[in-house]
């Protein structure tokens, strides 16, 4: 039996033991239960899933999704409760009709005249929230000013449906509706419609996610959702899920060999082999209460970790990157280790002293710590640039959490981002050209907080200044990118997203 088959077996066992119910279906298409042509289409549609690229390809005919009935092809899943649906999508080919369309749909039944709420993008660019309030009733819509969206999200929270769209790289804009009752048990899925009964259109969907978010009764830092480690290709902005667990996995570092990741879970650190997609516990000796602030030295030989001592305070420790007994760095805590200097002589960390969280520097060989920031309010997430000239960090001193930079001696503290969002954990690419950071919405999260299980963006900007673009849209937060997550090639990123239910996306191994 191959390692992939063994992993798949234990994944399903873990999911079952965690109380997650997976429907046994013979017609599974990736994360979807089945597919159907809705209405009397002239040409049968089809949907397929490429498990290697994690892409869905849909083809479909149909006269329209409008009026009092619909004709289209639908790849669907039965669901109840709240959910977040998200995908990137594009038509294949020029097409015939300007109102050919694709998107997400939530539907009460497979009947052609069913009630529905749909996030729709048309061939000519029209982007709209479409809905039918009653069985056999007329279709209505709310149009967006934005056209030609290629990132589409549809979220249900109670009886409120929110459609959020963007052109790849931009922030979401949204419309919502809360007076259409589809019932709790619905059909959820991707659709394509040719807007011409004699034509079959095709589209490709990637970054397809069905997220079941945290319930309102979840107790933060005591109850956790499942985790998915993803690898993002920065050129295409497509990400692939490489590992899923019903446990909380956090903060994937990319190790210097480019062949392994390092993450924490349940107080332990794990290396993750990118070739066989299997984790292995890293020996951290007596440090068995590790959190998600751990960082690898530039030469790849050493690891700084943060682990609670006997008093329960997070303390910095250093050990070989291959594992071993750790050496204590801080006399007091809390202390959260974030960055090595390129020459390996110093480590920068966030420390709480006298009820103020600031950036500190400490010699990696041991010695007194030096306070580098003194402004009231939280300063966190310090990390050296690859040339050693600067330390990047995030600070709440200007109101919202923003990215800042200072010289390595703490002088010339300068604000780098200045927008209406909360920006955390700047990470500089190994080639020194880019800054990546995580963005929280101020409507969801206070400036000084970075909790689990929120709508977040991963964003990137040039080190020398310039436009900021979104590189990933996801449900995550704490643990998503607390640590440097760049691949050595500066072309890929690792991160963690979260989900109550995990829908297996891996191919079934045959050897």
Domains of the chain in start order, with CATH, are: 31-211 (2.60.120.200), 226-499 (2.120.10.30)
Please provide the average confidence, as pLDDT, over all residues in the chain: 94
Q: Kindly tell me the burial class for residue 84, based on how many C-beta atoms sit within 10 Å of its own C-beta (0-12, 13-18, 19 or more).
A: buried
Q: What is the pLDDT of residue 508?
A: 38
Residue 182, φ and ψ in degrees, nearest 5? -95, -5
C-alpha to C-alpha distances, 426 to 136, 169, 352, 380, 472, nearest whole angstrom: 52, 18, 20, 10, 15
Q: Please tell me whether residue 419 adopts helix, strand or coil conformation.
A: coil
What is the pLDDT at residue 61? Answer: 98
Q: Which residue has the higher pLDDT, 146 or 17?
A: 146
| Residues 86-101 pLDDT 10s | 999 999 999 999 999 9
Average pLDDT over residues 437-462: 98
- pLDDT of 503 reads 86
Q: Which of 82, 94, 156, 92 is nearest to 119 (CA)?
A: 156
d(CA 253, CA 339) in angstroms, rounded, equals: 12
DSSP string, 165-181: EE-TTSPPEEEEE-S--
pLDDT per residue as tens digits for the range 499-510: 998 988 865 332
Q: Name the H helices within 183-289.
A: none
Interatomic CA distance for residues 392 and 387, integer angstroms: 12
Residue 343 CA to residue 279 CA, distance in Å, equals 30
- pLDDT for position 301: 98
Task: Inform me whether the pLDDT recorded for 12 exceeds 70.
Answer: no
Cis upstream peptide for 50 (omega within 30°)? no
Q: Which residues of 1-28 are buried (b: 16+ CB within 10 A; e: fewer)?
A: eeebeebbeebeebbeeeebeeeeeeeb
With the CA atoms of 417, 421, 427 and 429 taken in that order, what torsion angle do they form, in degrees rounded to the nearest 10? -70
Instruction: Report which secondary-structure segment, H or E, holds 114.
Output: none
Q: Which of 151-160, 442-451, 498-507 is least confident?
A: 498-507
Which has the higher per-residue pLDDT, 60 or 506? 60
pLDDT recorded at residue 142: 98
394: its two tokens: 């995030």
Length of the chain: 511
Q: Is the pLDDT of residue 511 over 50?
A: no
Closest among 201, 234, 181 to 93, alpha carbons compared: 201
Residues 356-370: tens digit of each pLDDT:
999 999 999 999 999
Tell me what pLDDT residue 507 has. 52
Look at residues 273, 278, 280, 339 and name the one whose alpha carbon lies nearest to residue 304: 339
| Spatial separation of the C-alpha atoms in residues 263 and 279, rounded to whole Å | 9
Angle 468-359-380 from CA coordinates, rounded to 5°: 45
Q: Tokens representing 501?
A: 């239910």
Tens of pLDDT along 174-183?
999 999 999 9
Residue recorded with tokens 């436009």: 467
Q: Closest Cα to residue 262, out of 246, 248, 274?
A: 274
Indicate the Cα dihedral angle 429, 432, 433, 435, nearest 10°.
Answer: 50
Q: Please compute the mean of the pLDDT values over residues 245-271 and round it to a whole number.
A: 97
Contacts of 31 (CB under 8 A, 6+ apart): 77, 208, 210, 503, 504, 505
Is the model's pLDDT at 23 over the cut of 60?
no
- Provide, rounded to the nearest whole percent, the portion of the chain with pLDDT above 70: 94
Residue from 347, 379, 349, 386 nearest 448 by CA? 379
Location of structure tokens 């659709």: 191
Residue 405 is given by DSSP the state E
């Amino acid at each position: 039996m191959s390692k992939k088959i063994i992993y798949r077996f234990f994944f399903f066992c873990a999911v079952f033991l965690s109380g997650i119910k997976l429907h046994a279906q013979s017609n599974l298409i990736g994360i979807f239960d089945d597919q159907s042509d809705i209405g009397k289409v002239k040409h049968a549609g089809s949907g397929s899933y490429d498990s290697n690229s994690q892409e869905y390809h849909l083809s479909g005919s149909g006269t329209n999704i409008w009026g009092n009935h619909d004709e289209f092809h639908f790849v669907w899943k039965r669901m109840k409760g709240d959910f977040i649906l998200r995908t990137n999508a594009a038509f294949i080919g020029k097409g015939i009709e300007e109102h050919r369309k694709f998107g997400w749909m939530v539907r009460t039944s497979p009947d052609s005249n069913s009630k529905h709420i749909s996030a729709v993008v048309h061939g000519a660019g029209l982007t709209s929230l479409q809905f039918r309030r009653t069985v056999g009733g007329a279709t209505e819509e709310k149009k967006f000013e934005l056209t030609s969206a290629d990132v589409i999200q549809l979220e249900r929270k109670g009886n409120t449906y929110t459609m959020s769209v963007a052109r790849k790289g931009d922030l979401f804009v949204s419309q919502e509706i809360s007076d259409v009752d589809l019932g709790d048990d619905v059909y959820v899925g991707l659709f394509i419609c040719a807007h011409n009964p004699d034509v079959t259109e095709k589209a490709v969907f990637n970054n397809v996610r069905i997220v079941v978010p945290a319930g309102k009764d979840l107790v933060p830092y005591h109850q956790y959702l499942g985790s998915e480690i993803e690898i993002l290709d920065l050129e295409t902005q497509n990400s692939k899920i490489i590992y899923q667990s019903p446990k909380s996995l956090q903060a994937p570092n990319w190790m210097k060999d480019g062949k392994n990741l390092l993450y924490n879970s349940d107080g332990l650190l794990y290396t993750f082999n990118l070739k066989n997609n299997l984790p292995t516990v890293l020996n951290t000796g007596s440090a068995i209460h590790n959190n998600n602030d751990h960082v690898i030295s530039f030469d790849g030989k050493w690891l700084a970790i943060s682990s609670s001592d006997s008093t329960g305070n997070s303390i910095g420790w250093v050990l070989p990157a291959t594992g071993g007994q750790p050496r204590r760095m801080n006399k007091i805590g809390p202390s959260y280790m974030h960055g090595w200097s390129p020459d390996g002589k110093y480590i920068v960390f966030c420390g709480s002293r006298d009820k103020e969280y600031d950036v500190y520097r400490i010699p990696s060989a041991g010695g007194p710590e030096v306070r580098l920031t003194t402004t009231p309010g939280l300063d966190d997430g310090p990390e050296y640039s690859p040339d050693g000239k600067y330390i990047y960090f995030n600070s709440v001193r200007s109101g919202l959490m923003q990215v800042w930079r200072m010289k390595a001696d703490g002088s010339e503290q300068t604000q780098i981002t200045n927008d209406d969002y909360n920006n955390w954990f700047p990470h500089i690419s190994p080639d020194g050209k880019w800054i990546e950071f995580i963005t929280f919405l101020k409507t969801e999260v206070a400036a000084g907080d970075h909790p689990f299980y929120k709508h977040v963006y991963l964003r990137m900007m040039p080190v020398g200044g310039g436009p900021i673009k979104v590189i990933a849209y996801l449900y995550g937060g704490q643990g998503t990118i607390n640590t440097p997550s760049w691949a050595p090639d500066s072309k890929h990123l690792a991160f963690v997203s979260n989900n109550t239910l995990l829908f297996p996306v891996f191919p079934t191994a045959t050897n």
